[in-house]
């Protein structure tokens, strides 16, 4: 699947890519900031579902804390998985209010899964296997394997 391109002029980098895994799916996301990294990881998950952000129907403040950047990424993606699976809520973008390696607070936008709209595949969970968050040359990168 094709990677999408981010919009930064100084450090253009792919916002995310979907990496091959024999039985699961792997997302590699990048960002010049922690906030951008988490938003791009969410875009990667949306691409796995084959869902568009669409038009936001409501906004909601959400926040997460964790001991490590890796755990924070898993917690954030699990929130998106849970909302879609349990409530039929689709992430429609958002703006980070605060983002560090251990906390994430954002004004998130959501929409309801449309009538007849179906994700291309079911994502069961974000896993810890091969989970990695790195920083090099001013760019944050994260790799996460999702059980599909």
Partner 1 sequence: MKAKRAGDYVWDIPKTGGMRVPGRIYASESMIGRIERERVAEQVANVACLPGIVGASLAMPDCHWGYGAPVGGVAATDERVGVVSPGLVGYDISCGMRVLRTGLLAAAVRPKAEALMDALHATVTSGVGRGGGLRLEPRELEGLLEGGAGWAVKRGLGEAADLDVLEDAGTFPGADPGRVSSRALERGRDQLGTLGSGNHFLELQAVDEVFDEKAAEAFGLFPGQFVVMVHTGSRGLGYQVCTDALKLMPAAMKRANISLPDRQLACAPLDSREGKDYLSAMAAAANFARGNRQAITHKVRAACREALGLSAADLGMSVLYDVSHNLAKYERHAVDGVERRLCVHRKGATRAFPAGHADVPEAYRAVGQPVLVPGTMGTSSYVLVGTPRAMLETFGSVCHGAGRVMSRTEAARRVRPEELRRRLKDLGITARTDSWKGFAEEAPEAYKDVSEVVEVCEAAGLSRRVAKLKPFGVLKG
Q: Would you count residue 85 as binding partner 1 (CB under 8 A)?
A: yes
* Closest separation in Å from C-beta 8 to partner 1: 26
Q: Which is nearer to partner 1, 36 or 54 (CB)?
A: 54
Binding positions for partner 1, 103-122, rule CB under 8 A: 113, 117-122
Label the pairing between strands 103-112 and 125-126: unpaired
Q: Would you count residue 58 as binding partner 1 (CB under 8 A)?
A: no
Contacts of 121 (CB under 8 A, 6+ apart): 25, 48, 49, 50, 148
Contact region for partner 1 (CB under 8 A) — 5-13, 32-40, 86-94, 103-111? 86-94
3-state secondary structure of 49: helix
Q: Would you count residue 96 as binding partner 1 (CB under 8 A)?
A: no
CA 142 to chain centre: 10
Contact region for partner 1 (CB under 8 A) — 37-45, 78-86, 95-103, 133-141? 78-86
Residue 48, phi then psi, degrees to nearest 5: -60, -40
HSE-CB of 57 using CA atoms within 13 angstroms: 10
Q: How far apart are CA 77 and CA 126, in angstroms?
A: 7
Q: Would you count residue 145 as binding partner 1 (CB under 8 A)?
A: yes
Q: Would you count residue 82 as binding partner 1 (CB under 8 A)?
A: yes
What is the phi-psi region of residue 66: left when phi exceeds 0, alpha when psi lies from -120 to 50, beta otherwise? beta
Q: Which residues bind partner 1 (CB under 8 A)?
A: 1, 18-25, 50, 78, 81-82, 84-88, 113, 117-122, 124-125, 127-131, 145, 147-148
């Amino acid at each position: 699947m094709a990677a999408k391109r981010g919009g930064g002029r100084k450090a253009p980098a792919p916002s995310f890519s979907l990496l091959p895994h024999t039985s699961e799916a792997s997302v590699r996301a990048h960002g010049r900031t922690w906030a951008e990294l988490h938003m791009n990881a969410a875009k990667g998950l949306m691409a796995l579902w084959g869902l568009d952000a669409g038009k936001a129907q409501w906004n909601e403040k959400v926040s997460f804390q964790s001991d490590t950047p890796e755990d924070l990424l898993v917690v954030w993606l699990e929130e998106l998985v849970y909302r879609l699976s349990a409530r039929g809520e689709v992430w429609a973008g958002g703006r980070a209010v605060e983002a560090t390696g251990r906390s994430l607070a954002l004004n998130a936008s959501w929409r309801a899964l449309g009538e007849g709209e179906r994700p291309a595949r079911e994502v069961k969970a974000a896993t810890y296997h091969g989970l990695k968050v790195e920083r090099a040359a001013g760019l944050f990168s994260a790799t996460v394997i999702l059980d599909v």
